[in-house]
């Protein structure tokens, strides 16, 4: 079975990237082992395109990247956009209207960047104070002169997603309930307190299946690894779905197996066992 694997799909934060948001030497060596065997590695992340770390973008042989929870697939070697399933502005405005009463950080992703108000930008910095995520989030965000609603009304192009950062699991649950009846939307569930709204019919799993069709690959030729709720469709779309030891309970329940923690080279552990130990 391992010799039949042709593609490895990896979430980034909490999976390939450790808590310091770097790729460990052991994980890098495992990725190089894949490249030498002609096996594609595809990052499938909730990050927008401009949020892909240099350490990922500069990986030798990297060709495809799936960003914004499946909303966009790009061929990095040609710059071609292979898939674009975005949320239209009127639908996004209806979502924002439905959650008007919630005290939370509101962001929209467009053209590979996050956009938010000045107040929310400052709140985002405070939320990630003293964490490895702070530099990433602040460098990949742009401050708007007004609110995200103002921006959508003045620029009616579609967006990749809306990203809501709440103060608690309970607030997130209430937010989900307030939005779940709206037509034309779907949800990604990356972190316990946060909710991402994307267009209906797309998620990490649907994007992976689209890419497999494009490459004439079968699910049984794919390994996928992740840790967050938004990774569940991706794990289910792969022949072998692997949850990290640091994954949320529902992710572990959906996986075929569990590997080590992201801070213990869990990606490399799984790849060594399933593919690289053959030598």
pLDDT tens for each residue of 202-211: 999 999 999 9
What pLDDT does 278 receive? 63
* Measured CA distances, 96 to 87, 103, 161 (Å): 12, 12, 12
Asked if the model's pLDDT at residue 78 lies above 60, the reply is yes
Asked if the model's pLDDT at residue 255 lies above 90, the reply is yes
With the C-alpha atoms ordered 270, 275, 278, 279, is the resulting torsion angle positive or negative? negative
Confidence of residue 24 (pLDDT cuts 50, 70, 90): very high
Cβ-in-10-Å burial (0-12, 13-18, 19+) of 87 comes to buried
Share of the chain above pLDDT 70, in %: 98
Span 171-183, mean pLDDT? 96
With the C-alpha atoms ordered 209, 214, 218, 222, is the resulting torsion angle positive or negative? negative
Query: What pTM does this model have?
Result: 0.90
List 162's β-bridge partners, or say none.
108, 197
Asked if the model's pLDDT at residue 227 lies above 50, the reply is yes
Asked if the model's pLDDT at residue 3 lies above 50, the reply is no
How far is residue 59's CA from residue 87's CA, in Å, rounded to a whole number? Answer: 30
What pLDDT does 76 receive? 95
How far is residue 199's CA from residue 76's CA, in Å, rounded to a whole number? Answer: 23
């Amino acid at each position: 079975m391992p010799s039949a694997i042709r593609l490895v799909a990896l979430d980034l934060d909490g999976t390939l990237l450790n808590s310091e948001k770097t790729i460990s030497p052991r994980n890098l060596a495992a990725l190089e082992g894949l490249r030498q065997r002609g096996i594609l590695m595809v990052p499938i992340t909730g990050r927008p395109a401009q949020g892909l770390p240099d350490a990922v973008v500069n990986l030798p042989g990297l060709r495809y990247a799936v960003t914004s929870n499946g909303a966009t697939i790009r061929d990095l070697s040609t710059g071609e956009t292979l898939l674009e399933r975005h949320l239209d502005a009127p639908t996004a405005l209806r979502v924002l209207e439905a959650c008007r009463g919630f005290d939370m950080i509101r962001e929209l992703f467009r053209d590979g960047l996050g956009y938010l108000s000045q107040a929310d930008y400052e709140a985002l910095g405070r939320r990630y104070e003293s964490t490895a995520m702070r530099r990433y989030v602040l460098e990949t965000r742009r401050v708007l002169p007004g609110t995200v609603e103002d921006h959508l009304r003045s620029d009616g192009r579609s967006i990749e997603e809306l990203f809501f950062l709440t103060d608690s699991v309970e607030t997130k649950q209430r937010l989900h309930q307030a939005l779940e009846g709206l037509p034309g939307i779907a949800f990604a569930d990356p972190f316990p307190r946060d909710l991402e709204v994307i267009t209906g019919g797309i998620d990490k799993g649907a994007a992976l299946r689209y890419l497999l069709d494009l490459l004439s690959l079968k699910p049984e030729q794919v390994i996928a690894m992740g840790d967050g709720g938004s990774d569940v469709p991706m794990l289910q779309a792969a022949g072998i779905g692997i949850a990290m030891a640091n994954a949320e309970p529902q992710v572990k329940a959906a996986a075929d197996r569990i590997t080590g923690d992201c801070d213990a080279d869990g990606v490399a552990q799984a790849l060594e066992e399933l593919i690289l130990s053959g030598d």
